C-alpha cells in the first residue's frame, strides 16, 4: 500500500512522512522558542561566576539546543501516538531519538567537513534538518502495542516528557557557588579568590593601588565581588578576567569594574598583564587612570 502502514487492528496508520515531518518541526519549534526564552531568563548568567573557555561557549548551547530538540520531537511524536486509535502504533521516544540521532550524526559530519572546507550555515542547518527527518522516518516502522486505557497513555507520555525536561535542566543549569550580594564582603572575597585565582588577585592589586580610585574612596579597606559580570575566560592565546567589585574605603564605597588579561606564551618568559578599571556611577561607567 505504498507508504501507508497497517496497525494490528487492521486500521490504516498515519502517513509516516507526516509523522516524521511533524516530529522534526515540533522539535525545531521547541528548541528555538524555549532556547530563546532560556537565554534571557534562567540561563542569562550561564558562564558567569565561573571559569570558562571557548569549548564551553560552543558545547553548552549545543547541548541545550539538542535536549530541547529531543524534548520537542517527543512532544510531536506523542501527539500522533495519543491521537491514534489503533492498538499498535509508533513508539514516540524511539521516533524522537531517531530524529535527534539523525541530526547529531549530520552535525558531526558537517563539523568534520568544516575543518577542510567552508560550510555555509544555511546549508549545514538544512542538512541537519533533513537527516533528522529521515532518522524519524526510519523509526516509524518500529511499533508496539499500546495501553488500551487512555489514562495509561497520558501517564506514559507525561512521565517520559517530564524526565526529558529534567534532563534538559540538569544539562543546561550549572550551579556557580556565588554566595550572593547579601553575603558578607569577606565571604564574597574569599569565594572569588578561590574561584578565579591569579586573575582576581591581579584585579585586587590594581584596585588597591589605583590613585584615581583612592582619590574617591580613600584608603581601600575591603574588596569583594557583587552581582554582575564576574568570570575568567581561557582562549587559544590568552586568558582574561572581568569583575564587578564593591570597594570599601575610608571615605566611602564604590562599585568598580576591572578587566585583566594575560597571554599564555611564552611559557619560559614573563607574561605581562594588561589591566584596566572603571568606576560605576548610576548608569555611567567612568574609566579610571590607575597608572
pLDDT, tens only, 224-259: 999 989 999 988 888 999 999 999 999 999 999 999
* 168 — pLDDT class (breaks 50, 70, 90): confident
- At 1-10, the pLDDT tens digits run 344 334 444 4
Q: Whole-model pTM?
A: 0.72
How high is the pLDDT of residue 266?
Answer: 66
- At 138-167, the pLDDT tens digits run 998 877 777 767 777 788 788 888 888 788
Q: Where exactly are the structural domains of the chain?
A: 16-172, 185-288
* pLDDT(270) > 80: no
Q: Which residues of 162-183 are buried (b: 16+ CB within 10 A; e: fewer)?
A: eebeeebeeebeeeeebeeeee
For residues 11-23, give the mean pLDDT.
79
How high is the pLDDT of residue 54?
Answer: 67
Pairing of strands 252-263, 238-249: antiparallel
- At 183-223, the pLDDT tens digits run 999 999 999 999 999 999 999 999 999 999 999 999 999 99
Instruction: Among 21-25, 40-44, 82-86, 102-106, name the one with the lowest average pLDDT.
Output: 40-44
How far apart, in whole angstroms, are the C-alpha atoms of residue 197 and residue 201? 6
Query: Of 195, 202, 97, which is closest to residue 139 (Cα–Cα)?
Result: 97
**Overall residue count recorded for the chain in this entry:** 291
How high is the pLDDT of residue 268?
Answer: 64
How high is the pLDDT of residue 25?
Answer: 96
Query: Of 263, 268, 265, which is closest to residue 239 (Cα–Cα)?
Result: 263
DSSP annotation of 228 reads S
Is the link from the previous residue into 5 a cis peptide, with omega within 30 of 0?
Answer: no
Q: Contact 240/261 with Cβ under 8 angstroms?
A: yes
Q: What is the Cα gyration radius of the chain?
A: 27
How high is the pLDDT of residue 30?
Answer: 93
What is the CATH topology of the domain spanning 185-288? Nuclear Transport Factor 2; Chain: A, (3.10.450)
Alpha-carbon distance values, 176 to 129, 190, 232 (Å): 34, 14, 13
How high is the pLDDT of residue 232?
Answer: 92
Which neighbouring-strand residues pair with 287?
A: 278
- At 75-132, the pLDDT tens digits run 999 988 888 766 667 889 999 999 999 999 999 999 999 989 899 999 999 999 999 9
* 277 — pLDDT class (breaks 50, 70, 90): very high
Which neighbouring-strand residues pair with 245?
A: 225, 256
Amino acid at each position: 500500500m505504498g507508504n501507508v502502514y497497517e496497525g494490528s487492528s487492521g486500521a490504516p496508520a498515519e502517513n509516516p512522512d507526516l509523522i516524521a515531518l511533524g516530529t522534526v518541526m515540533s522539535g525545531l519549534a521547541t528548541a528555538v522558542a524555549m532556547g530563546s526564552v532560556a537565554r534571557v531568563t534562567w540561563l542569562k548568567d550561564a558562564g558567569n561566576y565561573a571559569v570558562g573557555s571557548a569549548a564551553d561557549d560552543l558545547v553548552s548551547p549545543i547541548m541545550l539546543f539538542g535536549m530541547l530538540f529531543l524534548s520537542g520531537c517527543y512532544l510531536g511524536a506523542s501527539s500522533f501516538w495519543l491521537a491514534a486509535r489503533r492498538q499498535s502504533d509508533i513508539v514516540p521516544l524511539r521516533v524522537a531519538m531517531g530524529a535527534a540521532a539523525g541530526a547529531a550524526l549530520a552535525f558531526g559530519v558537517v563539523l568534520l567537513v568544516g575543518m577542510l572546507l567552508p560550510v555555509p550555515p544555511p546549508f549545514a542547518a538544512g542538512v541537519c534538518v533533513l537527516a533528522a527527518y529521515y532518522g524519524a522516518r526510519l523509526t516509524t516502522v518500529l511499533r508496539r502495542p499500546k495501553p488500551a486505557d487512555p489514562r495509561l497513555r497520558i501517564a506514559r507520555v507525561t512521565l517520559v516528557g517530564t524526565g526529558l525536561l529534567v534532563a534538559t535542566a540538569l544539562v543546561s543549569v550549572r550551579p556557580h557557588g556565588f554566595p550572593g550580594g547579601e553575603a558578607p564582603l569577606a565571604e564574597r572575597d574569599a569565594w572569588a579568590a578561590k574561584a578565579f585565582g591569579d586573575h582576581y588577585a591581579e584585579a585586587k592589586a590594581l584596585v588597591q593601588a589605583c590613585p584615581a580610585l583612592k582619590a574617591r574612596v580613600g584608603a581601600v579597606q575591603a574588596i569583594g565581588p557583587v552581582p554582575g559580570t564576574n568570570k575568567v575566560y581561557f582562549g587559544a592565546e590568552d586568558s582574561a578576567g572581568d569583575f564587578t567589585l564593591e570597594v570599601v574605603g575610608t571615605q566611602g564605597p564604590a562599585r568598580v569594574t576591572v578587566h585583566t588579561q594575560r597571554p599564555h606564551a611564552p611559557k619560559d618568559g614573563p607574561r605581562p598583564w594588561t589591566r584596566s578599571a572603571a568606576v560605576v556611577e548610576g548608569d555611567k561607567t567612568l574609566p579610571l587612570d590607575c597608572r
